[in-house]
Amino acid sequence: MLPFLRADLAKLKAYQPHPPIPEPYDQLDTNESPIDLPTEIKASLAAHYQQIIAANRYPDGGHKSLKRTIAEYVCESAADIAAHQITTENISVGNGSDELIRSLLIATAIGNGSILVASPTFSMYGILAQTLGIPVVDVGRGEDFQINLEQAQAAVEEFPIRAVFMVHPNSPTANPLTSAEIDWLRQLPDDVLVVIDEAYFEFSGHTLVADSLSRSNWVVLRTFSKAFRLAAHRVGYAVAQAELINALEKVRLPYNLPSFSQAAALAALSHRTELLAAVETTRQERENLTAWLAQQPMITQWPSAANFLYCRLSNKGLSQLGMTQAEGLHHIFTQLRQQGTLIRYTGGGLRISLGTAAENQRTQAHLQSIIG
């Protein structure tokens, strides 16, 4: 190892992005929207790039127009938020939610403590923390994937926890936070930051954004990569009280969001009624695939409030395949890939992103051929 590098980096593995996938595959492994932007919106963006964006100039480093439009959308989408209650002072924009997570870690825990997560959950919390030399305290979840609150409380009392990261609903397990879990988060002391990742808000309808305005130690993260179909543009945003947002603005990189990404997010928001209409289609597909899986005795699944489903092999499935859970899941994962369906094997289960109706029907057919 190079002598000038941190010794702990030798223990880390670089994040492995998914390689480009040939077109014939059904890409149901990254929770993206299966639907591209409408052609007319893409054409409008192309014209915007050609006629308005100066490629030789830095982007708007303050994201003023985008922050203002995001604030309007957040107010509009939360029943318990009054119009204009959220302003640009309550919004920070990042190059994907990953940048915002990293900024929160920099602002709270470097050389100053640990973070708490409950696995299985979004892996980037732990990965980003480790790259910054921040210890990660991982508490367990039960069979229903609810957080072990006794373990979590004990961890807060034992370790110097500076931030708690929760996805609402969780990935990969698709369950929203329970009332008990939310109550526990609300009783945490003011010196612990509560990060609520609402990447799948548009699919669940569950939001705690009001808490991010009333509590100085809360922040809500959201993304344009899922329901708004902008995964290629990497746009995320944070909602919090102005003092916390100001801290994020201090530690983020300058000119962090390209002009074209800002234009794409603004275009998506201006067409949000049209784009978000597809959310109901995804919910219907969720019901359809859930109903089909419920009829498969070899599969155990859990209720989903997101744009994906999570399942494992049932006892009957394990017996019929004559494999352990890990062996059986890897077998299904591999067989699906060979048949052209890509899903995610993570957290001791299979996460299946919801695709188009045709993709979901192929998923059913491929699964049926494997499990009989």
Which pLDDT tens digits describe the chain residue by residue (372 residues)?
A: 899 999 989 888 888 777 777 678 999 999 999 999 999 999 999 999 999 999 999 999 999 999 999 999 999 999 888 878 999 999 999 999 999 999 999 999 998 899 999 999 999 999 999 999 999 999 999 989 999 999 999 999 999 999 999 999 999 999 999 999 999 999 999 999 999 999 999 999 999 999 999 999 999 999 999 999 999 999 999 999 999 999 999 999 999 999 999 999 999 999 999 999 999 999 999 999 999 999 999 999 999 999 999 999 999 999 999 999 999 999 999 999 999 999 999 999 999 999 999 999 999 999 999 998
What is 9-37+277-371's CATH number? 3.90.1150.10
Domain ranges of the chain: 9-37+277-371, 39-273
- What pTM does this model have? 0.95
Structural tokens at position 185: 């988060």
- What is d(CA 235, CA 32) in angstroms, rounded to the nearest whole number? 13
What is 39-273's CATH number? 3.40.640.10
Please classify residue 258 by burial: count the beta carbons closer than 10 Å to its beta carbon, then call 0-12 exposed, 13-18 middle and 19+ buried.
middle
- What is d(CA 145, CA 148) in angstroms, rounded to the nearest whole number? 9
- What is d(CA 300, CA 316) in angstroms, rounded to the nearest whole number? 10
CA 342 to each of CA 25, 55, 158, 346: distance values in angstroms, whole numbers, following the listed order: 7, 36, 41, 13
**Residue pointed to by tokens 């954004």:** 209
Q: How far apart are the first and last CA of the chain?
A: 50
- What is d(CA 164, CA 174) in angstroms, rounded to the nearest whole number? 18
- What is d(CA 141, CA 22) in angstroms, rounded to the nearest whole number? 36
